[in-house]
Homo-oligomer: A and B are copies of this chain.
Amino acid sequence: MAKRASHDKAECPVARTVDIIGDEWSLLILRDAFDGLRRFGEFQKNLGLAKNILATRLRHLVAHGILEHAPASDGSAFHEYVLTDKGRDLFHVLVGLRQWGEHHCFQPGEPHSVLVDAQKGQPVRPLEVHAHDGRRLDATDAVVKKVSEQKPRAKR
């Protein structure tokens, strides 16, 4: 799929991430990978998207080192797609998307899937952003320092 613009040289880490996974299908493939789906056919069935689009997205996620090929877990000829360490590091992003959806996209009492601690079965805590010294921060307590604001520019 042609991107309308590339942010892969941006100084903003959000832009570089969005450049790689900032589309509906990549995010849902990742969700499914975190849920343990591994095979092309499993993703295709769960997502209901066209095979060519799925193939393109999987190739893209493999090219960026987020998924990798693995031999079929049952010894068959299928190959499978599994999260790399880099892919698993997107856990926080997926949890953030989930928790916002839980809070803002369901009516009170409307059932939804829940992310639970595998050991005790209790829902995970809401994500919090903390300062270096542990204070809890909300959006108005944090600012982005551009590269140009981090150190004086070289004189010439």
Contact = CB atoms under 8 A, between A and B. Distances in A.
Interface string A110-137: 0111111111111111011111111101
A88 B141 CA distance: 12
A78 interface: no
A104 to B, nearest CB: 5
A55 interface: no
Interface residues of A, number: 83
Of the listed residues A89, A97, A98, A140, the one surrounded by the most CB atoms of chain B closer than 10 A to its CB is: A97
Contacts of A127: 92, 96, 127, 129
Contacts of A7: 28
B117 A141 contact: yes
A12 interface: yes
A35 interface: yes
A20 interface: yes
Contacts of A13: 97-102, 105-106, 112-113
A34 interface: yes
A127 B118 CA distance: 20
A116 B142 contact: yes
A124 B83 CA distance: 26
A49 B124 contact: no
